[in-house]
């Protein structure tokens, strides 16, 4: 069997869907490599900053690692702007969706909201509300997102910084995307790990 027999989903039988499930399992093993390739394509995106979006992603992740943050933080930080490629108007939500089955809830929330939190730094210059983050006041992860933005995201546009290369992070990305999706022991709902050691 090389393809399913059906041309409309409702006509598929057990054999067809067993076949597809096997194919899907094989395909998902390539997620980490596909994401690493996508990150490289961020190098070509038009930014206007002094460094590329890939450079920014690597620099943010480098700062996270040097702060002593754990793997969930480092990989989430590396991928936090990957949505820039296909979702320029909600790049934060896009990245959070990719990470959601594989990293701690805390990191997913921070990546999802980082666009709103970043407004504090430049909202006034682009006609946006600098205090957009105030809508989340009192949220258990509010301070984590504020720290993420201050220490790792807004600070990482410096071409002179000693940024680690993508190869340095490759094994960590593979480790994260090889996890069992939505494993409660990974998601750890409501639990917080510090951003700095
Ligand atoms: Fe961003
Ligand atoms: Fe960013």
Convert the pLDDT of each residue in 32-59 to its tens digit.
999 999 999 988 876 789 999 999 999 9
Summarised one tens digit per residue, pLDDT across range 161-197 is: 999 999 999 999 999 999 999 999 999 999 999 999 9
Nearest ligand to the C-alpha of residue 91? 1
Q: Does residue 154 fall inside a structural domain?
A: yes
Spatial neighbors of 140 by CB under 8 A, at least 6 apart, are 190, 192
Distance 108 CA to ligand 2 centre (A): 14
48 dihedral zone (left: phi>0; alpha: psi -120 to 50; beta): left
Mean pLDDT to the nearest integer, 130-142? 98
Which ligand lies nearest to the CA atom of residue 152 in the structure? Answer: 2
In a domain, 61, yes or no: yes
- Look up the CATH number of the domain holding residue 47: 1.10.3210.10
Residue 92 Cα to ligand 1 midpoint, Å, equals 6
Ligand 2 centroid – CA 29 distance (Å): 27
Instruction: Answer for the pair 143, 72: CB distance below 8 angstroms, yes or no.
Output: no
- Measured CA to CA, the distance from residue 77 to residue 108 in angstroms comes to 10
Tell whether 194 is covered by a domain. Answer: no
The pLDDT score that the predictor gives to residue 37 is 96
5 assigned to some structural domain: no
Residue 195, in any domain of the structure: no
Q: Which two tokens stand for residue 93?
A: 């939500």
Domain count, the chain: 1
Alpha carbon of 44 to ligand 2 centroid (Å): 16
Distance 30 CA to ligand 1 centre (A): 25
What range defines the domain where residue 29 resides? 13-187
Average pLDDT of span 104-109? 98
**Is the predicted pLDDT of residue 78 greater than 90, yes or no?**
yes
Is residue 4 in a domain?
no
Average pLDDT score over the chain = 96
Full-model pTM: 0.96
**Residues 6 or more apart in contact with residue 163 via CB below 8 angstroms:** 55, 58, 59, 62
State how far Cα 64 lies from the chain centre.
13
CA distance 39 to 77: 12
% of the chain exceeding 70 in pLDDT: 99
């Amino acid at each position: 069997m090389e393809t399913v027999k059906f041309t409309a989903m409702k006509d598929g039988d057990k054999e067809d869907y067993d076949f597809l499930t096997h194919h899907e399992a094989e395909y998902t093993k390539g997620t980490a490599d596909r994401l690493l390739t996508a990150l490289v394509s961020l190098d070509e995106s038009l930014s206007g900053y002094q460094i590329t979006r890939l450079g920014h992603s690597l620099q943010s992740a480098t700062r996270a690692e040097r702060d002593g943050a754990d793997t969930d933080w480092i990989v989430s930080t590396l991928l936090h702007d990957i949505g820039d490629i296909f979702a320029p108007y909600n790049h934060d939500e896009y990245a959070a969706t990719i990470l959601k089955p594989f990293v701690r809830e805390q990191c997913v929330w921070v990546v999802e909201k980082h666009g709103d939190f970043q407004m504090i730094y430049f909202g006034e210059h682009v006609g946006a509300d600098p205090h957009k983050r105030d809508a989340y006041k009192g949220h258990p992860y509010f301070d984590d997102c504020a720290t993420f933005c201050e220490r790792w995201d807004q600070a990482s546009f410096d071409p002179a910084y000693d940024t680690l290369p993508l190869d340095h992070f490759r094994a960590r990305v593979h480790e994260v995307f090889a996890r069992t999706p939505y494993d409660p022991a990974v998601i750890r709902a409501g639990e917080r790990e510090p951003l700095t050691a």
